[in-house]
């Protein structure tokens, strides 16, 4: 079952949906999470207290509006446009 979360930064607040993976379940179990946001191109990311391996179906190319987890930095990522290594829009 997919779970909905709320992401808030200052006065901006959005809802997002976690998929049904072990990583998403770990993120759900760690809520609430607070962090300091960083920006990399048109991606916002912040470190979270979750330590998971890359999911077997993980992908490099994502859509604007996707959220993801970056295992190397324990990062929660929000994609809203190209990053410095993007190959397309």
6 pLDDT more than 90 = yes
Query: What is the per-residue pLDDT across 22-53, written as a single tens digit (0 to 9) for each?
Result: 999 999 999 999 999 999 999 999 999 999 99
1 pLDDT more than 70 = no
82 pLDDT more than 90 = no
Domains, the chain, with CATH or none: 3-79 (2.40.100.20)
Write out the E strands in 1-89: 3-9, 12-18, 38-39, 43-47, 67-70, 75-79
Contact 77, 45 (CB under 8 A): yes
Global pTM reads: 0.87
Q: 19-27 contacts: CB < 8 A, separation 24 or more? A: 21/55, 21/57, 22/52, 22/55, 23/50, 23/52, 23/55, 23/69, 26/50, 26/52, 27/69, 27/76
pLDDT at 71: 95
């Amino acid at each position: 079952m997919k779970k909905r979360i709320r992401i808030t930064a200052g006065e901006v607040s959005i809802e997002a949906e976690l998929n049904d993976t072990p990583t998403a379940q770990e993120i759900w179990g760690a809520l609430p999470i607070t962090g300091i946001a960083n920006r990399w191109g048109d991606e916002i990311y912040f470190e979270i207290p979750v330590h998971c391996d890359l999911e077997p179906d993980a992908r490099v190319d994502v859509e604007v509006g996707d959220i993801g987890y970056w295992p190397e930095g324990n990062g929660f990522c929000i994609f809203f446009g190209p990053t410095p290594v993007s190959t397309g829009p």
